[in-house]
Amino acid sequence: MCIEIYNIYISIPQKLSENELYNNDRRMMTLQIKFSNKGNILIIKLNGELDHHASDYVRRKIDNEMIKPTSKNIIFDLSNLSFMDSSGIGIIMGRYKTVTKINGKAMIACSNAQIVKLLEMSGIQKIIPIFDNVDKAVKKALEVAEYDA
């Protein structure tokens, strides 16, 4: 009984403070992030506006997810992103470096003309293929994964 109470006391405040931190971030932020898995592909779906303000939060969330063994290849699904600036390029490049270290592949799904323009301007499309929707990116990633296996 005593041990239980002790355990609860220790674990809950820690969790709360962590949650509070993220919640505070989110309150001022117009960005949501969702993760899903298909085989060894991690799909990162971003919603809203990706700028420098959101970048720390996004980086922390993605890196937490990428340390999982199921995340060998990654797809950035930017279809629902209404705005992105060069901070987003920094984030994508950073994650690209991480997956290439474990021989994984990175892909981008994006149909927003302005974001595609930014990605092309940065030269990122030379190393990370861009698809106009996430299904095409997943299909390609699955092909690559099969080929590797």
Residues of the shown chain interacting with another protein in the complex, contacts defined by CB under 8 A: 28-30, 49, 51-53, 55, 59, 83, 85-87, 89-91, 93-94, 113-114, 118, 121-122
Q: Which is nearer to another protein, 110 or 141 (CB)?
A: 110
CB of 37 to another protein, least distance (A): 24
Coil, strand or helix at 85: coil
Single out the residue of 146, 142, 118 nearest to residue 130, CA to CA: 118
Q: Which is nearer to another protein, 55 or 80 (CB)?
A: 55
Single out the residue of 109, 61, 62 nearest to residue 81, CA to CA: 109
Instruction: Count the neighbouring beta carbons within 10 Å of the beta carbon of residue 83.
Output: 16
Sequence letter at residue 37: N
CB of 133 to another protein, least distance (A): 20
Sequence letter at residue 13: P
Q: Which is nearer to another protein, 31 or 107 (CB)?
A: 31
CB of 49 to another protein, least distance (A): 6
Q: Which is nearer to another protein, 47 or 122 (CB)?
A: 122
CB of 94 to another protein, least distance (A): 4
- Strands in 106-109's sheet, in edge-to-edge order, are 31-38, 41-50, 73-84, 106-109, 130-131
How far apart, in whole angstroms, are the C-alpha atoms of residue 55 and residue 87?
A: 7
CB of 27 to another protein, least distance (A): 10
Q: Which is nearer to another protein, 40 or 122 (CB)?
A: 122
